Amino acid sequence: MTETLDRSANPDARRGRAPMERLSRHDVTVIAVLLVSAFVIVLNETIMSVAIPTIVEDLRITTSAGQWLSTGFILTMAVVIPVSGFLIQRLTSRTLFTVALGSFIAGTVIAALAPVFPVLLAGRIVQGVGAAVVMPLLMTTVMTIVPPSRRGAMMGNISVVISVAPALGPTVSGVILAVLPWPFIFWCVLPIAVAGMLLGLRFMRNIGETRRVPIDWISIPLSALGFGGLVYGLNAVGEGATEGEISWVAIAVPVAVGVAALLVFLLRQASLQRSDRALLDLRAFRSRVFTASVVTGSLAFLGLLGSAILLPIYLQQVLGVSPLQTGLIVLPGGLLMGVLGPIVGRLYDRVGPRPLLLPGLGIATVAFLLLSTVSETTPVWQVLGGHMLLSLGLATVLPSVFTAGLSAVPRRYTSYGSAIFATVQQVGGAAGTALAVALLAIGGAASGASGVVAEAAGTRLAFLVSAGVFVLAFAFGLMVRRVPDQEGTDDVDPARAGDIASAH
C-alpha cells in the first residue's frame, strides 16, 4: 500500500523511471562556480581572434608572431589537459581549483599589463595552464556529485559553455575594441575570474577521495610532444591560411613527431596502468559505449570547429561581409545551442542518448549538405539558415555523448575519462580547422577558377566532406546507449559496460 501511494505521488515512479534526486544547494553552488569559470576560460580561447590585428599594429610585430597568442594558449591546453586526470586523482578538488583559477588570473594580469609581446605571450601561456584543468575538473565533479537521474541536465549546461562561449568570443572582443584599447580585453575578463575564485574559496569542497598515484616523469614529455606536436602542426594549417601561405613541411614535421611520440605515450600508459601508475589511464576505453561516445564526439568537434573557420572565410572573402557582420551572423547559432543545451539535457534524463543523438547527427548532416551548395551569389539569409540548422543538430549531440560516455566509466576512471574528452576537444578542433583549410585549397584548385569563384568551390567541397564525416559519426553513434546506473560504480568491470548496455 505504501509503495502504491509513493508511486501515485511521484510522476517519475508512475512512468517506471527512478525518482529525480535533488542536489543540495551547496552542490548546485559548486557546479555553478565551475560553470562560470569554465565559460570565461572557453571564451578566452576565441576572444583573441579579432584583437590580433590591433595588437600586431600596436606592438609592431608580425602577423605570424601575433598568431601565437592563440596558438600558444591552445598548445598549452593540449599539453596540460592529458595530465589533468592524474592531477584530479592526486590533489583535492579545492586545491586544484584554487591553483587553476590562480594561474588563469595571474596570466590575465600579466597579459593586461604586458608592455611588450614576449610578456603578453607569457601571460597567455600562464592562462592556458590554469584553463586546461578547469573543464576536466568540471566534468569529473558533475559525474561524482550529480545523481544519474540528473546528469543529462547538468551536461546540457556544460554544452552551453562549449557552444556559446566560442561564438561570443569574437563578438565580445569586437565590442571592447570598438571603444577601448586591447588590454581591456583582459581587464574585462579579470573581475569575472576573480569573482569565481572568491566564490570557489567560499563554497568549493573536496569531491571524492585523493589517491597517492605515483607520477611517471617519462610520460609527461611524451604527452607534451605527442599532443602538443599534433595540435601545433594541425593549427599551423589554419594560421597559414590566414596569412595566405601554407608551409606543408612546417606542418608535416611537428605532426610526424607528435604521432610518433603519441604512439610511444599510449604504449607506455597501457603498460603502466597494469600497476596503476599511468599518467592517463586508458582503461576507460574498455567500455564500448565510452569509446563510441569519444569517437562520435571527436567527429562532431571536427565538424563544429571546421565550420567555425569555413563560414567566416566564406562570408568575408566570397560574399564580402565585414568582420563585425560575420560575428553577428554566426552568433544566433551559438545562442541557439546555448538555449537548447539545458532542454536537451533534461530530455536525455528522460529518454536516454539515442533518441537525441541520432536525429541530431542526421540534422547536422543535412545542414552540411545544404551549405555545400553555396556559391558566390548565395544570399546571406540562406547561410544563416544553414548555420542555424547545423547548430540545432549539434545541440543534441554534445550533451548526449558526454553524459553517455562518462556514465559508462567506473567512478575510479572518471577523471581520466574527463581528461580524454577534453583532449579530444582540442585535437578534434585543430584537426577540423586543418581539414577545412586543406579542402578549401584543394577544391579551389580543382575548380580551375580563380578569386571568389574558386573560394566558393573550395567551400562547397569542405562542407560536402563535413557531411561525410557526420555520416561516419552516425555509424558510431548507433553504438552509444544509456548504461545502467550501477555501471558508474567502482565495482563494475568497464569491459562489461558495452555488453550490459547492449542488453538494455
What's the CATH class of domain 281-504? Answer: mainly alpha
Q: Which is nearest to 45 in space by CA: 124, 113, 133?
A: 124
Q: What is the pLDDT of residue 246?
A: 61
Give residue 241's pLDDT. Answer: 55
C-alpha grid cell for residue 380? 546571406
Q: Give dist(CA 39, CA 248) in Å, integer.
A: 34
Average pLDDT over residues 217-229: 84
Distance of CA 214 to the CA centre of its chain: 28
> Among residues 49, 229, 63, 179, which one has the least CA distance to residue 124?
49
Torsion sign, CA atoms 221, 83, 485, 338: negative
Find the mean pLDDT for residues 158-163: 73
Angle among Cα 16, 20, 24 to the nearest 5 degrees reads 165
Sequence-separated (6 or more) residues with CB below 8 Å from residue 339: none
Confidence tier at 18 by pLDDT (50, 70, 90):
very low
- pLDDT tens profile 492-502: 444 444 444 44
The rounded mean pLDDT for the chain is: 79
Cα separation, 424 vs 353, whole angstroms: 20
Confidence of residue 243 (pLDDT cuts 50, 70, 90): low
Residue linked to cell 546506473? 485
Asked whether residue 10 carries a pLDDT value surpassing 70, the answer given is no
pLDDT at 435: 78
Give the rounded percent of residues in the chain with a pLDDT score beyond 70. 86
First to last CA, the chain: 30
Cell triple for residue 368? 552540411
Q: Are domains 22-205 and 281-504 of this chain identical in fold?
A: yes
**Side chain identity at residue 146, one-letter code:** V
**Per-residue pLDDT for 320 more than 80?**
yes
* Domain segments of the chain as ranges: 22-205, 216-278, 281-504
Pick the most confident of 220-229, 254-263, 317-326, 439-448: 254-263
Fill in the amino acid letter for 337. Answer: M
Q: DSSP label at 24?
A: P
Range with the lowest mean pLDDT among 145-154, 218-227, 268-277, 453-462? 145-154
- Confidence (pLDDT) at 204: 75
Q: Is residue 161 very low, low, confident or very high in pLDDT (cuts 50, 70, 90)? A: confident
Tell me the C-alpha to C-alpha distance, in Å, between residue 43 and each of 46, 108, 149. Answer: 6, 13, 29
Tell me the three-class secondary structure of 241-252, residue by residue.
Answer: HHHCCCCHHHHH
* CA nearest to 393, candidates 363, 372, 416, 421: 363
Across the range 44-48, mean pLDDT stands at 76
**So what's the pLDDT on residue 488?**
43
Position 232 scores a pLDDT of 79
Q: How confident is the model at residue 4 (pLDDT cuts 50, 70, 90)?
A: very low
Length of the chain: 504
Q: Residue 399: is its pLDDT beyond 90? A: no
How much is the pLDDT for 385? 92
pLDDT in tens, 325-353: 777 887 888 888 888 888 888 888 888 88
The cell numbers describing 28, all together, are 548546485
**DSSP single-letter state for residue 213:** P
Return the higher-pLDDT residue of 107 and 230.
107
Per-residue model confidence as pLDDT tens digits over 268-305? 988 888 887 888 888 888 889 999 999 998 888 887 77
**What is the phi-psi region of residue 43: left when phi exceeds 0, alpha when psi lies from -120 to 50, beta otherwise?**
alpha
Amino acid identity of residue 14, one-letter, is R
Radius of gyration of the chain (CA): 22
pLDDT at 240: 60
Grid coordinates belonging to 257: 613527431
Bigger pLDDT: 251 or 130?
130
Residue type at position 393: G
The number of beta carbons lying within 10 Å of the beta carbon of residue 485 is 13
Does the reported pTM lie above 0.85?
no
pLDDT digits (tens, 9 = 90+) for 65-95: 777 787 778 778 878 888 887 787 777 888 8
| Ramachandran sector of residue 244 (left: φ over 0; alpha: ψ -120 to 50; beta: rest) | left
CATH superfamily of 22-205: MFS general substrate transporter like domains (1.20.1250.20)
Report the alpha-carbon distance of residue 432 to residue 231 in Å, rounded.
11
Q: How confident is the model at residue 126 (pLDDT cuts 50, 70, 90)?
A: very high
| Mean per-residue pLDDT, 129-143 | 83
> Taken in order 181, 73, 342, 196, is the CA torsion positive or negative?
negative
Which letter, b or e, does each residue of 375-406 get, where b requires 16 or more Cβ atoms within 10 Å of its Cβ?
ebebeeeebbebbbbbbbbbbbbbbbbbbbbb
